[in-house]
């Protein structure tokens, strides 16, 4: 078999651009005599890759005793079968597994014999889960690292022997699993004193703070603290962040924690290489909102690690969404655009095909819709989690004895209705392989700041900022992005920290401005304007840099702009021609503005100026809207459309149903229109879209009829070529 | 016209049991020359009643200046038209309106001239909304009462003149609007010192505490405080509740606040009567979860007030549910069962027909599904909010200039697709008028404790209780109730404080046991067992009474039971024949139990006894399950079904699709089966149900096919008589 490769556009097999199509099959949950038949079912369903955890818990059941070739755990034989079947394999040997295994897949003896590896809260108490579902270790604890190293030393050579360059199936290996999840979900980072050096003169934390700020005096100045020694330089609980100095201290620890994660990742990568793993290494981000937490890891492991993400839409009734709803889709888009921004072909390493809960159900038609929307939004690789269910080895399950998962293939090997959804989607990918080379056709851009995504959502100090970074991030997603999608604009997301965007002035750029913006990002926006770019910035022009120091690079370039919060009154605005615009966020008045600025928005009662347009040197223009919103009304789309049009935006899609979302993807030769109905009701629409290869040519669909929760794909020549709901039984997944 | 009456079963027109079918039409938002045509559209859509706010804001625009007969505000003429049209009217003269009006409908001058009426937080600071959407007053502030009284004095005689007993249309009047919402949604009750007497020797709060506990010594004993005077008896912030004494203090204030509300309601009722309102008075509970907060109000206003509830499912993307999902339906069921428990025919005074947001959309098919599910679950009255949109009087809207609302009838008077959903549902009600007399056929019961619903959801002191009341309430809803529905059992909800239930031992009774249970409720359970009842209680047997004092009435009757929390290990249990049951709540071991108790459940690893069955004197039996769960797996349904069957339960419905919910309603002569598909995918099922009038006769449906988000109604004779999706265009609501 050929190796699996990738660049920023897609996965590759030799010169061929392909979709990675994985199916998770756990050899340890399927009887060995049925491994071959399960793999065959995956192959028949259009998969090209098997993914599996390789649980430490099972392979080292007692300390130092390894079981590697017992028939039920003979992962070597399993990988050999994969190769024989012509299936690639991605192995995930941990140390963490999760996968609803006891201790999240860590051996029980590790926790009993080495309780010191348990992560710690800021007060030094152990970070403990209320039930046995998870275990939180301190990733860099020397004992944990030593034991992980020993595990790697035993398991990796075995896996390496089955690599593709040695005639085997293994084309990639995953380090750990959903990094940070075991801390994040308990609401606390790890503050283990031994590991971090908190309370010590030397160690990772004191070193980090010194590196960032300088000597103790500089640190005290930054933190507004009175530490007499480095041992007294302590982190601060986020709930106690009352001042900008406090915020600096809190963010110092947050950044430090993320850097620790990157060190841990680097160690695992190094060990993998030392033990002979030569294939690409991968990792799965647990949740779309955590993608920004991996910035250090992505930077430090550059060229050595492919980051993907897990995209669940239904774990139980209390999960944020139980269907592939707009809420889910907007998270997926954000997730994949961030992965793309990092330079990766967006891979969904855990795509729900089944669920650990039986109820609310994962239905085949919902699932197919989820697959379709991810594809429409840029997915280049997928791994169905799980493709086949099976029985947990005795005493290792935390949610059930039989890990049925409502998977496409039952523990007994029978196929279920969900199988058709998976196979049908894979067949569609196979029929349109050119989509692997496709990119989204876009007519506007949204600049994002990873700094914003890394800020805690709510802090007491927020009240001291007109627009705190966490709130700006929320506005970027729920305002700018959702309104753009509902208005049938096609946004491309760009990282404001990456200067790549500044020369491209072909499409207007929207930015959610926070009081805080890195000096570098402010400079990039200035360069963009100098190049003639059209900027739409709301709700505030930044006044602080990434260390919360005064910084008005952008405001000064704009000729001096000052804003203040508007006092009470109905939150309605007039923006140009559009009146009665609901501002369900905050309103900011421009108290100072360049004399040449054009006033373009006012509050409706007691009119205050809340929108101006400034022409900048070099032919650029900045439209500053002093308000933010969450998408909820047609006026939001109208105000954004008007602003984009005035900024030279040229829409590539027209659609008469504002509830549908639309995406056009093209490889430069062909194009495909995706229409998404993410609601529980049928929808109709007529749609026109520009041919990305001949922008003056419009294509029209006839009146489309979409059933509830359906994605359709259309091409200019063939019309509707795929419906997510087709070939699916109406029967819900039943066990 | 005949008056509108009601008893605990339904609304009545003379001797005739009827559905109240209201449509909200705001005379102040519709041009006067179009009032008649709007009313006609409501009549044609099957409505029998108009509901409207009567905004203080508009009718007393300047202090002391009343506008009552200006053409656009001539509510008298509007009511006259209603009468001419043969439509009843329900008027809602406030003082509060909400309705997306400025200051929630209170006059601006009131807030400017009388800032002292603003509600206060516990620290004395004003309770202020971040935008102009709402205003929080202290309901019992003397100035607010005085000005409300003056408003009532002017408006009520005018409304009274149009009452049904004087030949007019008005059959009911509403006091205030969604009481407590303006405090609850800001996360603080009102602690206005002047109004409550906090910090004073005398006043409502000191009086309340004295009444409850006795003299200062008794109060200090209860609160573990050292107050030297009544002025020092202060409320405590809920976040600071560290001990049972703290909890007592917090709940004292909560109960006090609810009692204040009842005093306010009584005052408004009294003034309504004094000004000549003779028709029934009503009020709308803002949210299903707040229904229990009205206990004092319901008790004190007994016979004088009909309480209904507002059932929204989609206000914006961040709303808890954007479709009539299972989450929504379970709240509606709870809401209506609590209203029924209070003795009212469940009325939904605001049922979404449109939304203040355009997106996510309220679609006709979703809306029809919402109407159907409410009917299936017991709704006897409905008011479509809003039936017709219109323009806000200048400067009074907070969300828009044109209050379009996506209503069935547009501001211009055109009908929209949603009209068909409303009219179709009303027609169905008309064709099956006997449903007004119908009750749910049930085969099991769930006992609820309003005390639990009134507890704050999370408090620090919770850790000192095995099962805090708030958690027990959550288990009752997300465990017992949802699992019962998913298992196709038909629960009747009963109030444990109401001794009415103790003699009826025909069906097993399930109770979510908290560490806290009122002595009276414990006695009722003992009486139920003594009468031969079959009780299923989980996860704990109470040990404290409603004042958090030791109280083991039930535990003692059960022969002495002690429990402790199980330590770590996978949360899997074996219950009778059923293994691998996921316990996604806590597990409690029985450390002491009667010698004769039968062990029926164990933890799966390191077996601990977590379930016992005790035979009690009088032929009763108590099944005690020492764990709780949130419905998520088939095993939950199986364990509950097994337990119900062992407790003599006799199911009345069989259905082979566990994702559908089913309800049978009967008036003793006829029966109707409702099938609910609350998911975004089509579903199939075959269903059998017992005829409620001849319980040995089973009726079968042929294989039913339900489209996404659909409710169907079946009768034994005619088959499917209604589908929520029928006669609806696929076109989503578009503006």
Bridge partners for B306 per DSSP: B282
**What pLDDT does A410 receive?**
98
Mutation for testing the A interface, residue in B359, B362, B585, B656 having most A CBs under 10 Å = B359
Considering B607, B622, B646, which residue would you say is the last residue of a domain? B646
Contact A646, A673 (CB under 8 A): no
CA distance A212 to A219: 9
Do B462 and B598 lie in one domain? The reply is yes
Mutation for testing the B interface, residue in A355, A630, A732 having most B CBs under 10 Å = A732
Residue A734 has pLDDT above 50, yes or no: no
Residue A520 lies in a domain: yes
Nearest of B139, B143, B87 to residue B116 by alpha carbon: B143
Residue A382 is encoded by which pair of tokens? 């997928």
The gap between the terminal CA atoms of chain B, to the nearest Å, is: 37
Residue B220 lies in a domain: no
CATH code for the domain in which residue B510 is found: 3.40.50.880
Residue B320 is encoded by which pair of tokens? 């808890």
Task: For chain B, give the percent of residues with pLDDT over 70.
Answer: 98
**What pLDDT does A733 receive?**
35
Nearest CB among B361, B571, B730 relative to A398 is that of B571
List Cβ neighbours of B65 (8 Å cut-off, separation of 6 or more): none
A366, closest residue in chain B (CA to CA): B681
Q: Do A400 and B572 touch (CB under 8 A)?
A: yes
Residue B687 lies in a domain: yes
**What pLDDT does A607 receive?**
87
Q: What would the DSSP string read from start to end of B33-45?
A: GGHHHHHHHHHHT
Lowest-pLDDT range of B8-22, B117-131, B493-507, B671-685:
B117-131
A657, closest residue in chain B (CA to CA): B734
Residue B727's Cβ-side half-sphere holds a number of Cα atoms within 13 Å equal to 15
Residue A334 has pLDDT above 70, yes or no: yes
Residue A694, Cβ density class (10 Å: 0-12 exposed, 13-18 middle, ≥19 buried): exposed
* Alpha helix stretches (DSSP H) within A476-561: 482-486, 519-530, 553-557
Residue A598 lies in a domain: yes
Q: What mean pLDDT value characterizes chain A?
A: 95
Do B686 and B640 lie in one domain? The reply is no
Q: What are phi and psi of A696, to 5 degrees?
A: -85, -5
Mutation for testing the A interface, residue in B681, B711, B727, B728 having most A CBs under 10 Å = B681
Angle (nearest 5°) at CA A733 between B645 and A674: 150
Residue B402, Cβ density class (10 Å: 0-12 exposed, 13-18 middle, ≥19 buried): middle
Do A628 and A680 lie in one domain? The reply is no
Q: How confident is the model at residue B163 (pLDDT cuts 50, 70, 90)?
A: very high
Q: Do A582 and B635 touch (CB under 8 A)?
A: no
Nearest CB among A366, A582, A680 relative to B399 is that of A582
Angle (nearest 5°) at CA B53 between B99 and B118: 60
Nearest CB among A400, A584, A729 relative to B582 is that of A400
Contacts of A364 in chain B (CB under 8 A): 681
Residue A519 is encoded by which pair of tokens? 């000096």
Nearest CB among B359, B569, B705 relative to A658 is that of B359
Q: Do A365 and B584 touch (CB under 8 A)?
A: no
**What pLDDT does B129 receive?**
86
Q: Do B322 and A327 touch (CB under 8 A)?
A: yes
DSSP B605: S
Residue B255 lies in a domain: no
Residue A544 is encoded by which pair of tokens? 């602080």
Contacts of A627 in chain B (CB under 8 A): none
B134, closest residue in chain A (CA to CA): A570
Residue B680 is encoded by which pair of tokens? 């975004």
Q: Do A730 and B571 touch (CB under 8 A)?
A: no
List Cβ neighbours of A395 (8 Å cut-off, separation of 6 or more): A102, B570, B604, B605
A579, closest residue in chain B (CA to CA): B401
Q: How close, in Å, is residue A300 to chain B by CA atoms?
A: 36
Q: How close, in Å, is residue A424 to chain B by CA atoms?
A: 17
Do A509 and A590 lie in one domain? The reply is yes
Bridge partners for A310 per DSSP: A350
Contacts of B627 in chain A (CB under 8 A): none
Residue B281 lies in a domain: yes
Query: How many C-beta neighbours within 10 Å does residue B374 have?
Result: 25
Residue B156 has pLDDT above 60, yes or no: yes
Q: How confident is the model at residue A13 (pLDDT cuts 50, 70, 90)?
A: very high
Q: What mean pLDDT value characterizes chain B?
A: 95
CA dihedral B518, B524, B530, B534 (to 10 degrees): -90
Residue A332 has pLDDT above 60, yes or no: yes
B100, closest residue in chain A (CA to CA): A570
b/e per residue B272-299 (b: at least 16 CB within 10 A): beebebebbbbbbbbbbbbbbbbbbbbe
Contacts of B360 in chain A (CB under 8 A): 326, 659, 679
Per-residue model confidence as pLDDT tens digits over B452-488: 999 998 899 999 999 999 999 999 999 999 999 999 9
Nearest of B249, B228, B226 to residue B238 by alpha carbon: B249
Do A564 and A524 lie in one domain? The reply is yes
Task: For chain A, give the percent of residues with pLDDT over 90.
Answer: 93
Contacts of A318 in chain B (CB under 8 A): 478, 630
Furthest CA-CA distance within chain B: 80
CA distance B136 to B157: 27
**What pLDDT does A567 receive?**
72
* Alpha helix stretches (DSSP H) within A538-622: 553-557
B586, closest residue in chain A (CA to CA): A131
Average pLDDT over residues B573-592: 92
Residue A679 lies in a domain: yes
Provide ipTM, 2 decimals: 0.95
Q: How close, in Å, is residue A473 to chain B by CA atoms?
A: 15
Q: How close, in Å, is residue A522 to chain B by CA atoms?
A: 29
Highest mean pLDDT, choosing among A605-619, B125-139, B141-155, B683-697? B141-155
Do A546 and A512 lie in one domain? The reply is yes
pTM (global) more than 0.95: yes
**What pLDDT does B728 receive?**
55
Q: Rg of chain B's alpha carbons, rounded to an integer?
A: 26
Contact A546, A247 (CB under 8 A): no
Q: What would the DSSP string read from start to end of B241-274?
A: --SHHHHHHHHHHHHHHHHHHHHHHHHHHHHHHH
Residue A70 has pLDDT above 80, yes or no: yes
Look at phi and psi of residue B671 and say left if phi exceeds 0, alpha if psi is from -120 to 50, else beta.
beta
Nearest CB among B359, B586, B657 relative to A632 is that of B359
**What pLDDT does B568 receive?**
62
CA dihedral B347, B353, B359, B360 (to 10 degrees): 50
Residue B229 is encoded by which pair of tokens? 């005077």
CATH code for the domain in which residue B678 is found: 2.60.40
Residue A137 is encoded by which pair of tokens? 């270790």
Q: How close, in Å, is residue A399 to chain B by CA atoms?
A: 5
Do B322 and B400 lie in one domain? The reply is yes
Q: How close, in Å, is residue B540 to chain A by CA atoms?
A: 18
Query: How many C-beta neighbours within 10 Å does residue B610 have?
Result: 26
Average pLDDT over residues B29-58: 98
* Chains A & B: contacts with CB separation below 8 Å: 221
Contacts of B731 in chain A (CB under 8 A): 657, 683-684
List Cβ neighbours of B70 (8 Å cut-off, separation of 6 or more): none
CA distance B597 to B694: 37
Per-residue model confidence as pLDDT tens digits over A367-426: 999 999 999 999 999 999 999 999 999 989 988 889 999 999 999 999 999 999 999 999
Do A674 and A579 lie in one domain? The reply is no
Q: Do B681 and A364 touch (CB under 8 A)?
A: yes
CA distances from residue A214 to A226, A248, A252, B177 in whole angstroms, order as listed: 15, 14, 13, 59
Query: How many C-beta neighbours within 10 Å does residue B112 have?
Result: 9
List Cβ neighbours of A403 (8 Å cut-off, separation of 6 or more): A26, A29, A100, A386, A389, A390, A391, A392, A397, A411
Q: Which range marks the domain in which residue A674 is found?
A: 653-723
Residue A609 has pLDDT above 50, yes or no: yes
Structural domains of chain A, count: 2
Do A669 and A622 lie in one domain? The reply is no
Lowest-pLDDT range of A481-485, B429-433, B730-734:
B730-734
Nearest CB among B133, B399, B632 relative to A316 is that of B632
Considering B436, B455, B476, which residue would you say is the last residue of a domain? B436
Lowest-pLDDT range of A79-88, A126-135, A516-525, A526-535:
A126-135
Q: How close, in Å, is residue B531 to chain A by CA atoms?
A: 37
Per-residue model confidence as pLDDT tens digits over B697-735: 999 998 899 999 999 999 999 999 999 998 554 443 333
Contacts of B361 in chain A (CB under 8 A): 659, 679
Do B411 and B456 lie in one domain? The reply is no
Do B311 and B460 lie in one domain? The reply is no
Q: How close, in Å, is residue B309 to chain A by CA atoms?
A: 23
Position with higher pLDDT, A29 vs B605: A29
Contacts of B316 in chain A (CB under 8 A): 584, 630, 632
Nearest CB among B482, B571, B681 relative to A365 is that of B681
Do A706 and A589 lie in one domain? The reply is no
Average pLDDT over residues A526-552: 98
Q: How confident is the model at residue B132 (pLDDT cuts 50, 70, 90)?
A: low
Residue B126 lies in a domain: no
Nearest CB among B132, B570, B604 relative to A571 is that of B132
Considering A646, A672, A693, which residue would you say is the last residue of a domain? A646
Residue A601 is encoded by which pair of tokens? 């928005």
Contacts of B635 in chain A (CB under 8 A): 400
Contact A328, A371 (CB under 8 A): no
């Amino acid at each position: 078999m050929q190796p699996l490769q990738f660049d920023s556009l897609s996965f590759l097999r030799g010169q061929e651009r392909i979709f990675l199509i994985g199916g998770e099959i756990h050899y340890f949950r399927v009887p060995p005599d049925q491994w071959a038949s399960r793999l065959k079912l995956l192959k028949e369903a259009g998969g090209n890759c098997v993914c599996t955890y390789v649980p430490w818990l099972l392979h080292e059941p007692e300390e130092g005793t390894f079981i590697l070739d017992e028939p039920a755990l003979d992962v070597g034989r399993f990988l050999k079968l994969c190769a024989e079947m012509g299936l690639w394999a991605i192995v995930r040997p941990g140390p963490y597994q999760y996968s609803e295994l006891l201790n999240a897949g860590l051996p029980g003896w590790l926790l009993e014999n080495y309780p010191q590896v348990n992560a710690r809260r800021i007060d030094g108490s152990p970070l403990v889960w209320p039930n046995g579902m998870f275990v939180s270790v301190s990733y860099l604890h020397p004992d944990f690292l030593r034991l992980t190293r020993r595990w790697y030393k035993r398991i990796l050579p075995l896996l390496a022997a089955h690599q593709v360059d040695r005639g085997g199936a293994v084309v990639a290996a995953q380090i750990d699993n959903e990094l940070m999840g075991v801390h994040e979900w308990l609401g606390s980072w790890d503050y283990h004193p031994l590991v971090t050096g908190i309370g010590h003169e030397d160690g990772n934390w004191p070193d980090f703070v010194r590196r960032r700020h300088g000597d103790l005096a500089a640190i005290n100045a930054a933190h507004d603290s009175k530490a007499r020694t480095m041992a007294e330089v302590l982190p601060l609980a986020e709930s106690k962040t009352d001042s900008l100095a406090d915020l600096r201290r809190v963010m110092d620890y947050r950044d430090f924690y993320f850097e620790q994660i990157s060190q841990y990742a680097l160690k695992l990568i190094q060990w993998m290489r030392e033990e002979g793993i030569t294939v690409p290494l991968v990792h799965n981000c647990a949740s779309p909102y955590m993608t920004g937490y991996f910035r250090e890891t992505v930077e430090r492991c550059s060229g050595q690690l492919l980051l993907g993400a897990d995209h669940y839409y239904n774990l139980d009734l209390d999960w944020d969404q139980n269907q592939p709803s707009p809420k889910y889709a907007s998270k997926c888009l954000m997730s994949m655009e961030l992965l793309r921004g990092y330079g990766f072909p967006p891979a969904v390493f855990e795509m729900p095909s089944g669920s650990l809960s039986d109820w609310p159900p994962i239905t085949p038609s919902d699932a197919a819709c989820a697959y379709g929307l991810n594809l429409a939004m840029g997915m280049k690789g997928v791994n169905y989690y799980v493709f086949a269910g099976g029985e947990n080895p005795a005493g290792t399950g935390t949610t059930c004895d039989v890990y049925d998962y409502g998977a496409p293939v039952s523990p007994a090997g029978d196929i279920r209705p969900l199988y058709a959804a998976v196979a049908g989607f894979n067949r569609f990918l196979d029929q349109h392989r050119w989509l692997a080379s496709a990119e989204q056709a876009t007519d506007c851009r949204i600049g994002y700041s990873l700094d914003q995504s890394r800020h805690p959502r709510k802090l007491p100090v927020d009240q001291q900022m007109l627009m705190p970074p966490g709130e700006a991030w929320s506005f970027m997603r729920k305002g700018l992005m959702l309104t753009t999608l509902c208005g049938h604009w096609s946004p491309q997301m760009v990282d404001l920290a990456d200067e790549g965007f500044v020369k491209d002035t072909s499409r207007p750029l929207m930015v959610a401005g926070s009081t805080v913006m890195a000096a570098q990002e402010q400079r990039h926006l200035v360069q963009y304007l100098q190049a003639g770019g059209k900027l739409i910035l709301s709700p505030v022009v930044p006044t602080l840099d990434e260390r919360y120091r005064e910084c008005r690079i952008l405001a000064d370039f704009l000729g001096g702009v000052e804003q203040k919060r508007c006092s009470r009154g109905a939150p309605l605005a007039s923006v140009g021609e559009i009146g009665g615009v609901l501002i369900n966020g905050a309103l900011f008045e421009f108290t100072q503005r360049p004399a040449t600025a054009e006033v373009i928005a006012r509050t409706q009662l007691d009119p205050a100026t809340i929108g101006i347009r400034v022409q900048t040197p070099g032919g650029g223009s900045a439209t500053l809207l002093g308000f933010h919103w969450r998408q909820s009304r047609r006026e939001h789309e109208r105000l954004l459309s008007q602003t984009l049009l005035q900024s030279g935006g040229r829409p590539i899609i027209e659609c008469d149903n504002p509830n549908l979302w639309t995406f056009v993807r093209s490889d430069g030769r062909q194009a495909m229109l995706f229409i998404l109905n993410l609601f529980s009701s049928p929808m109709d629409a007529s749609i026109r879209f520009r041919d990305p290869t001949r922008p003056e040519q419009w294509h029209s669909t006839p009146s489309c009829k979409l059933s509830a929760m359906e994605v359709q794909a259309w091409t200019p020549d063939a019309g509707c070529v795929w419906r997510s709901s087709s070939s699916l039984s109406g029967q819900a997944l039943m066990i």
